[in-house]
Structure 1
Amino acid sequence: MTMRFLITGGTGTTGRRTATALADQGLSVRVASRDPRPGTHQIRFDWADPATHGPALTGVGAVYLVPPVGDSDPGRLMVPFLERALEAGVRRFVLLSSSAITEGDLGVGEVHRALRRLAPEWAVLRPSWFMQNFVTPGHLHVESIRATDEIVTATGQGRVAFVDAADIAAVAVHALTDEQPHNTAHVITGPEALGYADIAEAVSKVTGREIRHHSIPVERFSERLAATGIPEEFAHMLAGMDDAIAHGSEDRVDPAVERITGRAARRFADFAAENAAEWTQAQ
């Protein structure tokens, strides 16, 4: 497929990997960023600044849509952008959503519904929780592992099929470039559902330290998130997702990664072994 690809969230966890994989195939990629680096293929883009949208869309045939971080109502920004992109001639859209969000749900679910209704070619990626949440500097989990040897959640005994962001990006590349549009939503998971106690055990094994999982009431977890600077409404939403996990919402495995890419999704044990050094810093 010969076209230019616009990657919103292009310096983020999945956007950066998606942009790199497309460029490695010799494809034309425009990376959207609020703070573009000079001398790169990055272009200034801000969901809240419509003046940046037109230049980003010039000559683009497909867009990877990453919702604005921390916004509990992304539709108010994303749906007008979608309409503008269609007017500019964009045909294919791939939206990053979440396995916890279904079509029509408040927030990204509303964008999902608009995309299916308006776009001629589309896909929605609904990944489970990222493995990278355990190694990204500043994230609550990595900081608590480093500082207190514990992972704090409100998930109880609930399980999650954690997925590597590289696997999400691999699916995104196919959704953007396959000759036939997917025109569907993909639930994207890792190969096994694990409790946070299992994650703590895997981290313990590669660090040689005893890492524990500490589950707290959902209200306390919401307060804990808000104390890190996360907007209160968004913190409440994230805590609610933990509570849903406690009640089994993410206890599932989907073979989408292997079905779409032809290779198996990465196991958390392998991810932990490769990233052991991330949990032994700044103690």
Structure 2
Amino acid sequence: MKIGVNGASGQLGTATVKQLLERATSHSVVAISRSPEKIEINGVEARFGDYDQPSSLVEAYKGLDRLLLIPSTNLQPGVRAAQNIAAIDAAVAAGVSHIVLMSSAGARNVQKPNIGADYFASEQHLMCKARQWSILRMSYYAEALIAEAQMSLAHGVLTGLTENKVSFVLRDDLAAAAVGLLVGEGHDGAIYTGTGPESLTGAERAGAIAKASGKPLTFVTLPAETLHAQLQQVGLPAEVITAVVSIQQNFSNGDFDIVTGDIEKLSGRPARNLESILSIAFQ
């Protein structure tokens, strides 16, 4: 079987390709990226494929039995949906038998600029067009929380719009689940959600960060308007500000307050908890 990973030069894509090589030794692995020269992994075939150049994707997907689509990091509202839809159409045209889409927890029919709108549109198109399909929705990256924590520790405050709960998941665990889905059987039409083993409140994650770092940190809620203004003051681009506020709103809606056993079901190993992830990050 020939398995392709689109978005292979990104962090999740690289982790997935490496684990495919370790676990799927009887299969061929094709790493697809707009920067194939950055793919320096022995044992894989690197191909050029750019989500913004749909004509390049049909060629990139030729001969693949299964394909993982990892959405780009473009934060402009509507762009990721358009990219994913073009990629799905290209994969169908190329004759890919089974398409797997990385999506987000809480994906539903919401209005742009909420980031969930792009994921929902992508999922719906996949279901309508693909011969066989699977979806792996992800909870919020633990690595993203760590990056936020490192900035927040300087001020001693971690912020949110409300007291909320999130099941943070390690990128490497998501990659392992994606590999299990790609090489396994019986996943046609399935929607999985990759989460950590626990859902933590803002106060609980602030406490875990404080314990791991040895520095005080308190969780504080603030209005969306205040968060927006603070992000403007530090000079972040408008699309980044919109995405951050949107994510915090989705936290408040409970979109990431979900715990499943899907990581273990697909990968064969349990998802790591936030405490163990933080202990390594702050060693």
TM-score above 0.5, yes or no: yes
Residues of 2 paired with 1:238 and 1:187: CA distance? 21
Matching residue of 1:281: none
Residues of 2 paired with 1:257 and 1:223: CA distance? 37
Matching residue of 1:59: 63
Code of the residue aligned with 1:29 in structure 2: it is: V
Residues of 2 paired with 1:120 and 1:254: CA distance? 27
Code of the residue aligned with 1:114 in structure 2: it is: H
Deviation per CA, 1:39-78: give whole Å up to 9, x if none.
7344333211234323421322221111221142122222
Match of 1:48 among 36, 44, 52: 52
Code of the residue aligned with 1:126 in structure 2: it is: R
Residues of 2 paired with 1:152 and 1:42: CA distance? 41
Matching residue of 2:188: 182
Matching residue of 1:280: none
What RMSD over aligned residues (CA atoms) do the two structures have, in Å?
Answer: 2.5
Residues of 1 paired with 2:118 and 2:177: CA distance? 23
Residues of 2 paired with 1:234 and 1:134: CA distance? 16
In the alignment, does 2:156 pair up with 1:152? Answer: no
Q: 1:28: Cα distance to partner?
A: 2.1
Code of the residue aligned with 2:194 in structure 1: it is: I
Deviation per CA, 1:119-151: give whole Å up to 9, x if none.
12211111111111134xxx5x04413533432
1:188–1:254 Cα contact (<8 Å) kept: yes
Matching residue of 2:4: 6
Task: Give TM-score, length-normalised by structure 1.
Answer: 0.84
Match of 2:277 among 264, 271, 278: 271
Matching residue of 2:105: 99
Task: Give TM-score, length-normalised by structure 2.
Answer: 0.84
Deviation per CA, 1:246-279: give whole Å up to 9, x if none.
24333332222223333322111111111114xx
In the alignment, does 2:22 pair up with 1:18? Answer: no
Matching residue of 2:113: none
Code of the residue aligned with 1:43 in structure 2: it is: R
1:218–1:240 Cα contact (<8 Å) kept: no
C-alpha change, 1:52 and 1:149, in structure 2 (3 Å) is farther
Code of the residue aligned with 1:127 in structure 2: it is: M
Q: 1:224: Cα distance to partner?
A: 4.2
Residues of 2 paired with 1:183 and 1:259: CA distance? 16
SS in 2 for 1:101: coil
Percent of aligned pairs sharing the same letter:
24
Residues of 1 paired with 2:199 and 2:260: CA distance? 10
- Counting only pairs closer than 5 Å after superposition, residues 123-162 of structure 1 correspond to structure 2 as 123-135=134-146, 139=147, 141-145=148-152, 147-154=154-161, 156-162=162-168
C-alpha change, 1:180 and 1:252, in structure 2 (3 Å) is closer
SS in 2 for 1:31: strand
C-alpha change, 1:52 and 1:87, in structure 2 (3 Å) is closer
Match of 2:124 among 113, 125, 142: 113
Code of the residue aligned with 1:144 in structure 2: it is: M
In the alignment, does 2:84 pair up with 1:88? Answer: no
Match of 2:250 among 234, 244, 247: 244
- Counting only pairs closer than 5 Å after superposition, residues 20-39 of structure 1 correspond to structure 2 as 20-25=18-23, 26=25, 27-37=27-37
SS in 1 for 2:65: strand
Match of 2:210 among 204, 220, 233: 204
Residues of 2 paired with 1:42 and 1:225: CA distance? 38
2:134–2:189 Cα contact (<8 Å) kept: yes
1:63–1:92 Cα contact (<8 Å) kept: yes
SS in 2 for 1:152: strand
Q: How many correspondences in the alignment?
A: 270
1:127–1:168 Cα contact (<8 Å) kept: yes
Residues of 2 paired with 1:22 and 1:227: CA distance? 43
Question: Which ranges in structure 1 are unaligned for 5 or more consecutive residues?
Answer: 278-283
